[in-house]
Structure 1
């Protein structure tokens, strides 16, 4: 009887254990199903969130691209306006530069016309030689006018965004021709222009930089002191293989407290109406956009030197092959 009683107790215990195990299994299975549903729900929410964020990023990127285009257009307009403002400041001198050779051309042509009328086509050898020389001089004057107009045309050309190889020396000489009248009464121009490799840049914008630096140098010197002052432009290669351009003057110099602000937009030490305060800021923007640097050193009553450092031009094929 006792054994049977114990056996029946074991059977009851085992039955309870099996039911408990079955309940635990069902509970675990239910928990797993709940967890899986929650995970699927979470994944769906995450995917939807990712889709929404992606759409938002695409819209934000499109807005940024549009803002960038507007910024580039505004920058191009600013650069163009600064060039026109500089040309406007030099307008009287440029008119004089063009009028001088034009008057010379007209005078020589008048002389040739009078000689032809007077001699009725039967000029002596000496008179013929004089007329030939007068026509040759008139041609030289016409070429001078043509060069001035060409340089003005370059500076007044609207901006494009493509950079390429630029001859620094040619750009400097173009700027000198445009600024010649402004420089002539203030200082002797000294050129130390050695041949350097082309730089990676934009011809119009580099010419704009050099013209601004030359005009600033001229304005640092009072008119009528050309014999006692000089403006020096030079080119050389740096130890790191970059092209260096320097524009220096023996003018009034820049106060030490102004040196740190000299490239800030609208900062100027010139009287009202003489400058916009954008010239050096524009120069800084152009040079840094080309991967170069511009710096200044100055000493009161002794002069100022602006140094422009530019990378040498490398064709895209060379860059790609070196990277490979």
Structure 2
């Protein structure tokens, strides 16, 4: 009887141990399933937040670009109005002359052809300006490719010309610069902002004493260096470390949002480049941009945004 009692107790203990092991295993499996579900939910949340951040960053870059276009609206209107004036004037002259009776002389025909050629030249100027604006203001597809940096610099300088010409001479050198890997619209946004900052650092009215230089050249290794320098007021030492921070600006209220240089820095960083600055109060400022040269091995892919 004692032996049977011990055997029964041992069997009950074994059953109890098996039940505890089964319960522990079930709890572990349940916990593992819950953990997997939690991790999946967390990963999906991270993906959604990352996508939202990238979209917000893209909207910020595009908004800053449109703000720059808005600041240029008056000067762009002036640039378009001038050629339109002599287009309309020359076309009106030719129309009046054609309405006259009689056979035109060879001299009159030459004058008509000259007037039409001038009208065509003016229309071409308008077309090129609109083309430059389309490059800057088009929706940002963030695609990267081989970019003709010289063409980008020329577009940026033409759009900034009206702000520059009343303040300084523009000296530009970009011949023979290799193509870089990046996004043309974003790079145009960067150099337009840098040129406008250079112009705004110079007081209007002393063009002969001031100069803005836009120089691009092949750097060390597979890099291209672009310098935007001016002879303006310069930046105080205490502000140099803060100029790339969002919303920091030394411009008067309503002139700058404080996003321009911050956005420029993010764009260049996203392109695998560097943006640095040197300045001395009263002697001017130089911004240096370093960008990677495009190679055949680089695929066309979206340029990531840096948060």
Asked if Structure 1 and Structure 2 have the same fold, meaning a TM-score greater than 0.5 normalized by the shorter chain, the answer is yes
Instruction: Name which structure has the greater RCO, CA cutoff 8 Å, separation 6+.
Output: 2
How much has 1:318 moved relative to structure 2?
Answer: 7.6
How much has 1:45 moved relative to structure 2?
Answer: 3.4
Aligned twin of 1:97: 79
Q: Does 1:203 find its partner at 2:151?
A: no
How much has 1:35 moved relative to structure 2?
Answer: 7.2
- Residues 197 and 49 of structure 1: CA distance in aligned 2, closer, same or farther (over 3 Å): farther
- Partner of residue 94 from structure 2, selected from 108, 112, 116: 112
Contact 2:172–2:213 (CA under 8 A) maintained in structure 1: yes
Give, in whole Å, the separation in 2 of the partners of 1:164 and 1:43.
55
How much has 1:215 moved relative to structure 2?
Answer: 0.4
Q: Secondary structure at the match of 1:246?
A: strand
4+ runs deviating over 3 angstroms: 29-47, 314-319
Give, in whole Å, the separation in 1 of the partners of 2:106 and 2:14.
118
Give, in whole Å, the separation in 2 of the partners of 1:62 and 1:141.
55
Contact 1:199–1:243 (CA under 8 A) maintained in structure 2: yes
How much has 1:48 moved relative to structure 2?
Answer: 2.8
CA RMSD, aligned part only?
2.4
Q: Does 1:160 find its partner at 2:148?
A: no
Unmatched segments (≥5 aa) in structure 2: 301-307
- Residues 128 and 236 of structure 1: CA distance in aligned 2, closer, same or farther (over 3 Å): same
Q: Secondary structure at the match of 2:141?
A: coil
Give, in whole Å, the separation in 1 of the partners of 2:163 and 2:198.
10
- Partner of residue 54 from structure 2, selected from 72, 80, 101: 72
How much has 1:196 moved relative to structure 2?
Answer: 2.3
Aligned twin of 2:206: 225
Query: How many pairs align?
Result: 295
Aligned twin of 2:270: 289
Give, in whole Å, the separation in 2 of the partners of 1:287 and 1:256.
23
Give, in whole Å, the separation in 1 of the partners of 2:40 and 2:143.
27
Contact 1:194–1:234 (CA under 8 A) maintained in structure 2: no
TM-score (norm 1): 0.84
- Residues 315 and 32 of structure 1: CA distance in aligned 2, closer, same or farther (over 3 Å): farther
Deviations 1:41-97 (A, max 9, x none): 544433333322221111111111111221122112111211111111111111100
Name whichever of 259-268 and 305-314 sits farther off. Answer: 305-314
Q: Does 1:313 find its partner at 2:294?
A: yes
1:77-92 alignment to 2 at 5 Å?
Answer: 77-92=59-74
How much has 1:189 moved relative to structure 2?
Answer: 0.5
Aligned twin of 2:41: 59
- Bigger helix fraction: 1
Q: Secondary structure at the match of 1:265?
A: coil
How much has 1:161 moved relative to structure 2?
Answer: 2.6
Q: Does 1:182 find its partner at 2:163?
A: yes
TM-score (norm 2): 0.88
How much has 1:117 moved relative to structure 2?
Answer: 2.8
